[in-house]
Amino acid sequence: MNNDERFNPYVSVNAEEEIVISGIAGQFPNSDNMKTFQNNLFNKMDLGSKDHQRWTNYIYEIPPRIGKMDNIEKFDAEFFNISAVEAHTLDPGIRMLLENTYAAIIDAGVNPAELQGTRTGIITAMTISETYVDVIYGKPQVAGLPILGYNKNMLANKISYWLNVTGPSYNIDSACSSSHFAMIEAYNLIRSGICDAAIVASFNLCIHPSVTQQFYSLGALSDDGYCKPFDEKGAGYMRSDAATAIYLQKAKNARRIYATFIYGKTNCDGFKEEGITFPSLDKQKILMKEFYKECNVSPLELSYLEAHATGTIAGDPVELQTIDEALCIKRDFPLLIGSVKSNIGHSEAASGHCQIAKILIAMETGIIPPTIHFKHPRKDMTAIIEGRVKIVTEPTEWKGGYVAINSFGFGGANGHLLLKSNPKIKVNETNNNLPKLVVISGRTKDAVKIILDDIQSRSVDVEYISLLHHIYSGNIKDHPYRGYIIAGSKINDNAIIKRRCTLYTKRPICFIFSGIGTQCFNMGK
């Protein structure tokens, strides 16, 4: 094979072959889904919890706050064909990723059955399972199953097994940059033709106090449990939970496009005099300079940069200096930057996906969520003081274009991503006012009602309804509840029924012609 035949990730591709984010789902501190997360970000909420009750009467001195997700003990085991016994020996993070993977696929307008047998890759990102030691070594009487439910190597495989997909399936661990490295790995797998699409999923759970105590002893965490990126009072971060899943496809296959994944690149610091946990200004600069040369995009085209920025004394100044020297040269207007960690703290292995979630919210709403807890920059942050960089502290209009995202692992694994907002103009059909039948299904009556209520609360959105048609045109296994609504009708016509969960063949649509008398309302009934 000569050099021209090898996969070259830098070569541009036509629009249909571009890789896009078509689905996303996530749970974040005090935010059960993307919609709640969006509202909390725009309301400038600090989503940390002091009375989290994850541990009590702990003997070591540790920060009082963590970013806590709710309902981690809940799981619909039957839907994922998992026995109750096995469900109790699954890491709660694995349970949450299964549920969020399903939600991300649905968000992309895809019925999970469509993926069976496909070369869909599953790349997960997880560093520490804080329940592993307690279960593996503390409960030897539960033989066999815990080794399947708490090992890193099973994280991606559980998802592949449930979906019955045959693409590459493995976990990536590069500490805080794990989810970025997983995104870049999935990008390269699709570009090289090894898989047709990919699900990238990550989680972080703060369950065991000893892990938090170790990070605190290392000097990474703030004493008060608040995360204040760029601010002179920032002295570390708050640890936090997160569980996310992102669906990547080629543009030609996507039914929804949130953003185009332009490029991703990584490098490693290597040896540093200061120590392995300290950042490297030189290596971060090399990464960014090579990055924009390879993808043929000028840093001057950046509309916004979502920084890694954890609020640490060692990390933030180096990152900001890197941004200034690598990206802000020749700019005649300030580069807008921010950090979602100001709201939710640092979710470590899953933090890159939290950054992406914030960016997609900005792209969908047209507003960049603000960074909170920033009042006065550190004295060594000259890029902010001299106006080459501006921290977004208020909801700010998103004007489209390119967004850069930084993520740095504390062992020296650096990652940089570039996304571009979807420029497509929303479809408005000429027959938009015609009523449209929408049929859906769900695990519970409440689940169906939530979707029906959501449809009813919107004006008729033909693209959204088209996604629902794609999802529910075939049966979703173990969805016992069915519901319908006539969207756009002046008459409130909807119903929910329960039927037996049995597999059935897809039946043809029947059209009923009522003959003479069709002018009478409800004659068809």
Provide the annotated active-site residues.
176, 308, 346
Q: What is the DSSP string of 495-517?
A: EEEE------PPPPP------TT
Q: 411 exposed, middle or buried (CB, 10 Å; 0-12, 13-18, 19+)?
A: middle
Question: Residue 56's CB: how many other CB atoms inside 10 A?
Answer: 7
Q: Are strands 389-391 and 396-397 parallel, antiparallel or unpaired?
A: unpaired
The percent of the chain in helix, strand and coil, each rounded to the nearest 5, is: 30, 20, 45
**Structure tokens given for 168:** 């590459």
Residue 524 backbone dihedrals phi, psi, to 5 degrees: -60, -35
- Give the amino acid at 263: Y
Do 105 and 98 touch, CB atoms closer than 8 A? no
Contacts of 44 (CB under 8 A, 6+ apart): 343, 370, 372
Do 127 and 204 touch, CB atoms closer than 8 A? yes
Q: Name which of 61, 163, 181, 191 is nearest 124 in CA terms.
A: 181
Q: For 394-471, list the strands marked E by DSSP.
A: 396-397, 402-408, 413-421, 436-442
Do 352 and 261 touch, CB atoms closer than 8 A? no
**Structure tokens given for 32:** 């059960």
